[in-house]
Structure 1
């Protein structure tokens, strides 16, 4: 089951990699166990996710994201195997002369699929989709501890132009 809401035009999209074609499609609620496992599959994520536990909070978040046409929660698949994920959100604003911007979040590639160009292909698709929708810029954040991720994004043309800040709210996960 995939999302039928607007914004999913052109999906699934082929992601050709070294003689193999994977596909990028909207995530389905049945993908949640694989998505949570991807989010938990690194030293930072393991402390933030509940990969073996209750999927209820993830299901509620999925429904909110999936129900909002300003957000695309995507999976990169090889057949039925989920090998990657990312969220692409479109944010209107007054700054930059009322520019629409795209925000890329929660990019993950399965450990066994890394180094084959899947992450670059996913980001390339997100940039193309952002351009197609008329965005003036594409932005993302990555944890300062993710040095390899920072180098990866810089290779794709992203520039560390701003200092991001976050405030953890008491009682929130």
Structure 2
């Protein structure tokens, strides 16, 4: 694997019922980080969202992944929400 991301188009009622694109599991091989692959991957994700009429891209990241948080912020993403999880059996 070189780089990967999971992108899901979500439809809902908020933001004028415009779809949003949820991006998760963004990964770049550790030996290739810093070469711009992650930024190019996210640019593709953002264009993919625009092409489908999405009004925003939202990225999720585990609280402990501070390097990922810096990466998203460098790309212009702003931390905006607090998320909650309920694990089911």
TM-score range (shorter-chain normalised) is over 0.9
Q: Which runs of 5+ in 2 are unaligned?
A: none
Q: Number of matched residues?
A: 89
Residue of 19, 29, 38 corresponding to 1:110: 29
Residue of 48, 56, 74 corresponding to 1:129: 48
Q: CA deviation at 1:126?
A: 0.3
For 1:58-97, list aligned pairs within 5 A: 82-97=1-16
Q: Distance in 2 between matches of 1:134 and 1:119?
A: 23
1:150 aligns with 2:69: yes
Structure 2 residue aligned with 1:164: 83
Q: CA deviation at 1:166?
A: 1.1
Q: CA deviation at 1:140?
A: 1.2
Q: Distance in 1 between matches of 2:36 and 2:87?
A: 33
Q: CA deviation at 1:96?
A: 1.1
Q: CA deviation at 1:99?
A: 1.1
The alignment's C-alpha RMSD in Å is 0.8
Q: CA deviation at 1:138?
A: 0.4
Q: Distance in 1 between matches of 2:87 and 2:79?
A: 22
Q: CA deviation at 1:133?
A: 1.1
Tell me the SS of whatever aligns to 2:27: strand
Tell me the SS of whatever aligns to 1:112: helix
